[in-house]
């Protein structure tokens, strides 16, 4: 059985989760659920990146210890996962004891490899940004203080720091990109990484002495690890490396991340792993951002909408569906209240929901509440089933490409095909003239809906389950292994109920 280990980036819990967090975790959940249903040994991990100066500062402002601060904040992220039906196998926290142990082991391994050395780091440092800036990036404010491009105050800072010999990995990384052009996707991101590496790599400062909220550097009092080494290593943690048996859960098949952190995942992370002589993840996918009416959400614009409130308004499954279907994965996308409402009506209520309802209610009224009898198939019947049966291959291809939107496109093309089939076969008319033929038509429609519902599961688990319940599909017959099975005529069916109600804009008081 093939393994599938997929991760999201870990979130920085210095604020509450926003729709960007929801988007990434929903998309990755789709990937994981799909792989699981497709019979793969799947492990899906998401979590939080809890160290660093900004967390320490936020905690101080609230007058609590950093650990207490993150313990509180992380609950919002866990609650979001619960609410959005995120089927993670582990919610990892960089404050977890096993994670700290793995990070320290990795550090030691990098030291042994000769890729870590002690030096001094100095430069213009912004406490707020937790970053150093070059002289020519700075501006000077009216009162003479130096400002970073982000507008925050910087001060000349000198600190002792451990460095990682990133420069040594320029050629190996370029070789990697050349040999595995799918290592980073979409391709334009790969090209950006190539260009970046070709310009030359500077060694990387990987420890700090200016604060202590981090994983301590082994045998180096006063130093904590630079956040990216700590954070990236979370992916390795569940393997238990270097303890025996780690190969069972490493390397990852896919890291799903935002386009803003591609560099860390596509350059630093592979370099760390190469230094430690560990296998590399198979693929890194940088998705786009989801904007509210094309504008980034911000406190000053007052347009922050929390994902939980969208789930309250539209329902979890419709929200998941919108984000997965309406945005090309890898591109930026937008959402609006109206756009989600339109999608719900056009795709869920009118197309799939109505298809299920018209089919199931005809069966309920005319077929004794049971799967209708099958019989000699016409060309139209076999054509329909042939078209529907190729849907699985299309969806698998989309999954391989990390394109949930394309998978849903492929599924909805079949939804339309079944609606058209019914219109052409007119079973409601046949009922009066040729009831046996009407049954056969309904049988084929129901069978097509069964297959569609199977493939809808990763996107809308609860709604798909309702559809499958109405077709009396057993729990152990809902994986893709049962895709080519057939409905058993005569199987008793429950009373049909609408699964996707129309979205009606609430009356404005």
Partner RNA sequence: GGCGGGGUAGCUCAGCUGGUUAGAGCACAGGAUUCAUAACCCUGAGGCCGCGGGUUCAAGUCCCGCCCCCGCCA
Residues found near RNA in the complex (CB under 7 A)? 134, 188, 191-192, 195-196, 199, 259-260, 263, 328, 331, 333, 342, 345-346, 349-351, 353-354, 356-358, 361-362, 416, 419-420, 422-423, 428, 498-502
Q: Are strands 154-164 and 146-147 parallel, antiparallel or unpaired?
A: unpaired
Q: Which of 503, 498, 18, 20 is nearest to 259 (CA)?
A: 20
Smallest distance, RNA to C-beta of residue 292, A: 14
Q: How many CA atoms lie within 13 A of 259 on its CB side?
A: 16
Q: Which CB sits closer to RNA, 251 or 498?
A: 498
Cβ partners under 8 Å of residue 201, min gap 6: 166, 167, 169, 170, 173, 267
Q: Which of 303, 296, 344 is nearest to 323 (CA)?
A: 344
Q: Which CB sits closer to RNA, 77 or 412?
A: 412
Q: Which CB sits closer to RNA, 8 or 463?
A: 463
Smallest distance, RNA to C-beta of residue 443, A: 15
How far out from the chain centre does Cα 68 lie? Answer: 28
d(CA 409, CA 288): 19
Smallest distance, RNA to C-beta of residue 145, A: 22
- CB atoms < 10 A from the CB of 134, how many? 9
Q: Which CB sits closer to RNA, 3 or 18?
A: 18
Smallest distance, RNA to C-beta of residue 93, A: 27
- Write the CA distances from 443 to 67, 249, 375, 376, integer angstroms: 59, 44, 9, 11
Structure token pair of residue 133 = 């800036």
Q: Which CB sits closer to RNA, 365 or 486?
A: 365
Q: Which CB sits closer to RNA, 333 or 404?
A: 333
d(CA 465, CA 447): 15
- Write the CA distances from 494 to 97, 277, 361, 468, 480, integer angstroms: 49, 57, 11, 11, 23
Q: Which CB sits closer to RNA, 75 or 167?
A: 167
Q: CB–CB of 453/468 below 8 Å?
A: yes
Smallest distance, RNA to C-beta of residue 216, A: 29
Q: Which CB sits closer to RNA, 274 or 352?
A: 352
d(CA 285, CA 304): 26
DSSP assignment of 192-203 equals HHHHHHHT----
Smallest distance, RNA to C-beta of residue 85, A: 20
Q: CB–CB of 214/230 below 8 Å?
A: yes
Smallest distance, RNA to C-beta of residue 449, A: 11
Smallest distance, RNA to C-beta of residue 262, A: 7
Q: CB–CB of 455/34 below 8 Å?
A: no
Smallest distance, RNA to C-beta of residue 126, A: 15
d(CA 38, CA 35): 5
Smallest distance, RNA to C-beta of residue 333, A: 7
Q: Which CB sits closer to RNA, 299 or 432?
A: 432
Smallest distance, RNA to C-beta of residue 103, A: 24
Structure token pair of residue 142 = 């009216």
Q: Which CB sits closer to RNA, 248 or 397?
A: 397
DSSP assignment of 330-366 equals TB-EEE-HHHHHHHIIIIIIIIIIHHHHHHHHHHHHH
Q: Which CB sits closer to RNA, 195 or 474?
A: 195
Structure token pair of residue 253 = 């098949």
Smallest distance, RNA to C-beta of residue 378, A: 18
d(CA 445, CA 425): 10
d(CA 231, CA 48): 9
Peptide bond preceding 251 in cis form (omega within 30 of 0): yes
d(CA 49, CA 8): 12
Q: Which CB sits closer to RNA, 313 or 361?
A: 361
Q: Are strands 146-147 and 90-93 parallel, antiparallel or unpaired?
A: unpaired
Smallest distance, RNA to C-beta of residue 404, A: 15
DSSP assignment of 486-508 equals ---TT-B-PPP--SSPPP-PPPP
Q: Which CB sits closer to RNA, 361 or 389?
A: 361
């Amino acid at each position: 059985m093939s393994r599938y280990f997929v991760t999201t980036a870990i979130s920085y819990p210095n604020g509450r989760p926003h729709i960007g967090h929801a988007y990434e975790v929903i998309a990755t959940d789709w990937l994981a659920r799909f792989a699981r249903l497709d019979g793969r040994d799947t492990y899906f991990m998401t979590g939080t990146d809890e160290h660093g100066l900004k967390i320490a500062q936020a905690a101080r402002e609230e007058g609590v210890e950093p650990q207490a601060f993150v313990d509180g904040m992380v609950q919002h992220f866990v609650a979001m996962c619960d609410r959005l039906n995120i089927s993670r196998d582990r919610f990892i926290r960089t404050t977890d004891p096993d994670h700290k142990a793995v990070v320290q082991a990795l550090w030691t391994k990098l030291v042994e490899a000769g890729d870590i050395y002690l030096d001094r780091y100095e430069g213009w440092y912004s406490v707020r940004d937790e970053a150093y800036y070059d002289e020519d990036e700075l501006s000077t404010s009216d009162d003479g203080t130096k400002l970073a491009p982000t507008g925050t105050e910087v001060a000349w800072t000198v600190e002792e720091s451990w460095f990682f010999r990133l420069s040594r990995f320029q050629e190996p990384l370029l070789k990697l990109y050349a040999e595995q052009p799918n290592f980073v996707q979409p391709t334009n991101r790969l090209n950006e990484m190539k260009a970046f590496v070709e310009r030359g790599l500077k060694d990387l400062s990987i420890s700090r002495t200016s604060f202590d909220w981090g994983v301590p550097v082994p045998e180096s009092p006063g130093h904590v690890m630079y956040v990216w080494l700590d954070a990236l290593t979370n992916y390795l943690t569940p393997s238990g490396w270097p303890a025996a048996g780690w190969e069972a859960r490493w390397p990852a098949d896919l890291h799903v991340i935002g386009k803003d952190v591609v560099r860390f995942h596509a350059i630093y992370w592979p370099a760390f792993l190469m230094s430690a002589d560990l296998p590399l993840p198979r693929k890194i996918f940088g998705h786009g951002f989801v904007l509210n009416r094309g504008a980034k959400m911000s406190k000053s614009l007052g347009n922050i909408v929390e994902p939980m409130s969208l789930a309250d308004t539209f329902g979890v499954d419709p929200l998941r569906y919108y984000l997965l279907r309406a945005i090309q994965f890898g591109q930026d996308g937008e959402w609006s209240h109206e756009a989600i409402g339109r999608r719900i009506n056009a795709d869920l209520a009118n197309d799939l929901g109505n298809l299920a309802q018209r089919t199931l209610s005809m069966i309920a009224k005319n077929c004794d509440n049971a799967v209708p009898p099958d019989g000699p198939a016409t060309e139209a019947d076999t054509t329909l089933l042939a078209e529907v049966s190729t849907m699985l291959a299309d969806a698998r291809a989309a999954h391989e490409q990390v394109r949930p939107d394309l998978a849903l496109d492929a599924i909805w093309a079949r939804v339309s095909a079944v609606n058209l089939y019914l219109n052409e076969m007119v079973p409601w008319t046949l009922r009066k003239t040729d009831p046996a033929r009407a049954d056969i038509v309904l049988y084929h429609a129901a069978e097509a809906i069964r297959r569609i519902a199977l493939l809808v599961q990763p996107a809308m688990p609860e709604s798909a389950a309702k559809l499958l319940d109405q077709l009396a599909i057993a729990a152990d017959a809902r994986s893709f292994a049962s895709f080519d099975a057939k409905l058993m005529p005569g199987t008793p069916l429950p009373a049909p109920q609408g699964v996707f109600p129309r979205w009606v804009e609430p009356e404005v008081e």
